Amino acid sequence: MAATRGEFSSRFGFIMAAAGSAVGLGNIWGFPTQAASNGGGAFLLVYLVLAFCLAYPALMAELIIGRHAHSNAVQALQLISRGPISKFIGGATGIAGLIVASFILSFYAIVSGWMMAFCINAALTFLDMGESAAWLVEFSLTRNLIFMCLFMLMTIGIISQGVQGGIERWSGRLMPMLIIMLVILVMYVLTLEGAMEGLKVYLLPDFGRVMSPSLIIAALGSAFFSLSLGVGTMLIYGSYLKDEENLPLVGGYVTLVDIGIAVMAGFLIIPAMYVAQHNGIQIFNEAGALISEDTLIFTVLPNLFNTMGTTGLLVSFAFFFLMTIAAVTSSISMLEVPVAYTIENHGAERQKAVWIIGGVITAISATIIFNFEMLFGLVIELTTRYSQPLLALLLCVFVGWIWNREGLLQELKKGNKDVESTFFWKIWPWYVRLVCPLIIGVIFVNSLWG
């Protein structure tokens, strides 16, 4: 089986793919709005500390299990298990991960469909096709269904081309494009009036809030979602990595790109909000808090673009195109999780597996759309707030307690013979064994209490 498995052809390909998975709606939309409503610079500071000290070690746990086993999460966790009980829990954790990844994709595809619709809206408005353009930005069953299906087709199309021809090729093309567009948008927004006020809010930490538990919980949740942890996406990407790769280094690059883009997105979104305010658009809600989430992306920003005339259409097109790219490089990693399992554990052909699983996820998405009020928020909450941290915790337990230290060391040595003398080896095994499970556990319990 190993001979027919896909593999990333280069370090760059892997970094773009894994960073592509990590960089998504969570970075460009979630992080900046959370920062804006949680003390600006204070949130940024806590996020940076947590991302490096907790999310990076957890990411390393996934990469190392995947690379060691060169197989999907179910087989990989069973491989490092020592007895029948841990083998059973390992298999169950892998299966749970692929189910959660599929459900995350089912809501992610709906939101990503909206991004596509808003992007096309800008193009049609430019072409004077006002009526069709208006339909695209109105919340309707048909629009939601059509664009969710289009987005799923794009995801299925890429994943059906395999690891090198699909994931690596498309991430390698789209990620540099995303970075360039983001930089251009940031530079443009910072030249507008009102932007400097937003910049101040973003960069000046309100130190009184740094130790606030709700801020810390929000920042950690954000970091975990942002690095796609828990559900096996990083594990499966790690399994396509060559043995010669230095894992702590490539994992570090992925974390840096992810954090860098989230921070950069803050330089776009928060100043843009204050530019909107300068142009007479309301950015604080009745409670006095900054408008965030869907209202920000689908009301405040489009209103801002409207005040900017033809340039606004271009900026709007660029912004929603950027969001769509970020979404697609993440969605492909989610679909790869159940697909790889079906290929490796059930001997299915890639094409067949991709279309069947993609079809099932599309059907789940459609069910959510038909029962939007009841299911949309519920699925997001169950998957990202409860399942993801719990699964990430289990993966840390597998690396820290079930797999032996010697096994870990041998795996790391494949890509760096001197790893034993590095700072990483002195700290990391203890981190995944004690610190990560403990802190994730505390956060999980906290989130249960809501």
Binding residue count for ligand PFF, defined by CB under 6 A: 16
Closest CB to ligand PFF among 22 and 64? 22
Query: Does residue 361 sit in helix, strand or coil?
Result: helix
> Which residue of 106, 226, 324, 329 would you call a contact of ligand PFF, by CB under 6 A?
226
> Which residue of 55, 61, 101, 122 would you call a contact of ligand PFF, by CB under 6 A?
101
Give the residue carrying structure tokens 């990430």.
Answer: 392
State which of positions 12-41 bind ligand PFF (CB under 6 A): 21-22, 24-27
- Directed axis angle between helix 350-370 and helix 372-380, to 10°? 120
221 binding ligand PFF? (CB under 6 A): no
261 binding ligand PFF? (CB under 6 A): no
In 10 A of CB 310, how many CB atoms? 9
**Dist CA 397 CA 20 (whole Å):** 26
In the complex, the smallest distance separating the C-beta of residue 31 from ligand PFF, rounded to whole angstroms, is: 8
366 binding ligand PFF? (CB under 6 A): no
120 binding ligand PFF? (CB under 6 A): no
Closest CB to ligand PFF among 39 and 389? 389
Of 110-118, 188-196, 227-235, 287-295, the segment contacting ligand PFF by CB under 6 A is: 227-235
Closest CB to ligand PFF among 292 and 333? 333
In the complex, the smallest distance separating the C-beta of residue 395 from ligand PFF, rounded to whole angstroms, is: 13
Of 37-45, 158-166, 223-231, 436-444, the segment contacting ligand PFF by CB under 6 A is: 223-231
Partners of 290 in beta bridges: 284
Q: Which residues lie closer than 8 Å to 57 by C-beta, 6 or more apart?
A: 396, 428, 431, 432, 435, 436
Phi and psi torsions of 194, nearest 5°: 100, -20
231 binding ligand PFF? (CB under 6 A): yes
In the complex, the smallest distance separating the C-beta of residue 425 from ligand PFF, rounded to whole angstroms, is: 27
Tokens read off for 375: 């299911």
Query: Of 240, 303, 329, whose CA–CA distance to 25 is shortest?
Result: 329
102 binding ligand PFF? (CB under 6 A): no
8-state DSSP, 209: G
Tokens read off for 123: 């193009």
**Dist CA 88 CA 448 (whole Å):** 26
228 binding ligand PFF? (CB under 6 A): yes
Phi and psi torsions of 124, nearest 5°: -70, -35
Query: Does residue 241 sit in helix, strand or coil?
Result: coil
330 binding ligand PFF? (CB under 6 A): yes
Contact residues for ligand PFF (CB under 6 A)?
21-22, 24-27, 101, 104, 225-226, 228, 231, 233, 330, 333-334
